[in-house]
Structure 1
Amino acid sequence: MEYQALKDYLMAKPETIMELPFAPDVPVFKVRGKMFALVGWKDGVMNMNLKCQPEQIDALIDIYPAITRGYHMNKRHWLTLYFDGSDAEREAFRLIDNSFELVVKGMNKKAQSELLAAN
């Protein structure tokens, strides 16, 4: 997957902003100040950290070698997807949607209804 297509999908989420708090080549995508995705590159391979349910992370790791526990993140609630051309890339948009929804569900009820209705 190309970075621009990934960025376009992330930025299409309601009220999403992109920040560069860590480094100029590590974009962080947030909704109402809460991170739901982080994109980076390691050894020339693009990767993305996403929030995910712990039981889903375990299953995804068993299926896809390109999915690991979150790199530099809480290993229980975050995963890293490496864009290495493998089958795991087909999960990217679904995992982005899931991460966005998990972050929104941690917000107050009013914010949840506004953001999930717009999603």
Structure 2
Amino acid sequence: MNVEEVRDYCMQKPATTEGLPFGEDTLVFKVAGKIFLLIGLEQGNRFNVKCDPELAIELREQHTEVQPGYHMNKTHWNTVFIDGSLTYKQIYGMIDHSYALIVKSLPKKVQAELAGD
């Protein structure tokens, strides 16, 4: 998996925007203005995603490619290495989980707009 594949997957999610708020090396994906994924463009072999704290620990114990979030709150963020050891399904699942956590934290009105209600 590479940066372009991560980007393409993230941009398929409703109301997702991308930007470079931390400099031209870190691509950031947001939904309703809240970050759900960050990926370094220079290295491109890892990204940070939000994660439920209990699941974060479980994933770290199961996969050496999942580490506490680099430069992030280590309780709520994981760094995921995309070096080929994790399947696309596992990686996409972590991205989906991060997106869903952010959407769940949004006001009900915004959630309804995202759902098309």
TM-score normalized with structure 1 length: 0.89
Structure 1 residues 66, 88: closer, same or farther in 2, change over 3 A? farther
Give the aligned partner of residue 109 of structure 2. Answer: 110
User: Which AA in structure 2 matches 1:2?
Assistant: N
Give the aligned partner of residue 26 of structure 1. Answer: 26
CA distance in 1 between partners of 2:101 and 2:37 (Å): 11
User: Which AA in structure 2 matches 1:40?
Assistant: G
1:104 is paired with a residue whose SS is helix
Q: Deviations over 1:46-100 (max 9, x none)?
A: 1110010011011101110010011100100010101111136541111111111
Say whether 1:96 aligns with 2:102. no
User: Which AA in structure 2 matches 1:68?
Assistant: Q
1:27 is paired with a residue whose SS is strand
CA drift of 1:32 comes to 1.1
Give the aligned partner of residue 85 of structure 2. Answer: 86
Structure 1 residues 89, 98: closer, same or farther in 2, change over 3 A? same
Contact 1:83 1:89 survives alignment (8 Å): no
Structure 1 residues 3, 45: closer, same or farther in 2, change over 3 A? closer
What are structure 2's unaligned runs of at least 5 residues?
A: none
Which runs of 4 or more aligned residues in structure 1 lie more than 6 Å from their structure 2 counterparts after TM superposition?
A: none
Q: What root-mean-square deviation, in Å, do the aligned CA atoms of Structure 1 and Structure 2 show?
A: 1.6
Say whether 1:77 aligns with 2:81. no
TM-score normalized with structure 2 length: 0.90
Give the aligned partner of residue 68 of structure 1. Answer: 67
What are structure 1's unaligned runs of at least 5 residues?
A: none
Give aligned pairs, total: 116
Structure 1 residues 30, 45: closer, same or farther in 2, change over 3 A? closer
CA distance in 2 between partners of 1:4 and 1:108 (Å): 31
Structure 1 residues 60, 81: closer, same or farther in 2, change over 3 A? same
